[in-house]
Amino acid sequence: MNKKIIAAAVAATMTSVAFADIAITGGMQVNYTHTDYDSTETDDSDVFKHEANLNITGKSGDTTVVMNLGGGSFDNTGNTGGSLSGSGTNQVNVEDLYMSTKVGDVSIKAGKLDNGDNELRASSRGQGKLSASTSVAGIDLTYNSANVAGDSVVAATSIQGVDLSFEQTETGETIKVSTEVAGVNFKYLGLPSDTANADRAYYEVSGSVGGVGVKYGKAETETADAIDGNSWMGDFEGASGAYALSAGQDVESIELSTSLAGNSVKFRNTSIDDKANEDTSFNKLIITRPLASGTTFELTYTDLTDDGSTSTDSTSLDLELSVKF
């Protein structure tokens, strides 16, 4: 009898594990980058690096818990000399950890959250964040709070095919407008600031001509603030980006994209101006192809020209293998 009771208990435990609603996803990429500097005083470089992430999601009814792991020993920011060993630590960072659920008609998300990058500003991740949202008369209302300064209220709606969003923060506003007219997409992002000469704005137009995707974007800022976003135009985050901008510099990009022999092909030109004698331009050719092994191969060729420097002009070739699961 005791054996039967023990067997039944073990079977019940195994069943609960088998039917638990838990999902594990993630990905990894490995890059090799060769940079050839025009200046004879700057040494060329060969760098290997890798980045990885692991995402764990658990669900129970309308409640979801998300944990995103990355950084630390999951990442290697790059070592010269052709080695993947070196700069990582033994720790793994918990980048996001939050719960989302519903209380009546109110959706709640709370925990450690990242608000995401856009074309004008870098992302901000913090502990003790709360987001509560609901819909009233066709208007989506969201209240965001945190343990530190940064509370905001967002109102979003759609009127005759035009998506509108307005966010009031403690230091300014965020305005978003997007629509589509005859196959052409228009987007506006505004960050007016309470600080003098610190307004930022982004404009985008995109569509398709003869099977070729065309996208144009321009990010503008006044003299007291700098663009530090990470988007399709480039990574301009001051702390970790490939190119940090100064206050008052504008960014303008155009991208052409198409498919060729099973490859995704993009050509992108980004120019940075409005700083005396330091106009900068990037020309990028990006070729992406899925491989039979389940990985994706991406080749990026970059030509960088900087009028304000005699040592940063360069060409680089980046080869990347990535996988998602």
Residue 200 in domain? yes
What is the reported pLDDT for 90? 61
User: Is it the case that residue 18 has pLDDT exceeding 50?
Assistant: no
What is the reported pLDDT for 70? 86
Residue 64 in domain? no
22-36, 81-95, 279-293: the lowest-pLDDT one: 81-95
Q: Contact at 8 Å (CB) between 194 and 174?
A: no
Residue 318 in domain? no
Give the residue with greater pLDDT, 260 vs 122. Answer: 260
What is the reported pLDDT for 33? 94
Domain that holds residue 224: 118-256
- Over residues 226-257, the pLDDT tens digits come to 998 889 999 888 665 567 888 888 999 999 99
- pLDDT band of 16, cuts 50, 70, 90: very low
Indicate the pTM of the whole model.
0.83
- pLDDT band of 75, cuts 50, 70, 90: confident
The total number of structural domains that make up the chain:
1
What is the reported pLDDT for 85? 38
Residue 216 in domain? yes
Residue 65 in domain? no
Over residues 106-128, mean pLDDT: 89
Residue 232 in domain? yes
User: Is it the case that residue 83 has pLDDT exceeding 50?
Assistant: no
Residue 299 in domain? no
What is the reported pLDDT for 101? 97
Mean pLDDT of the chain: 86
Residue 87 in domain? no
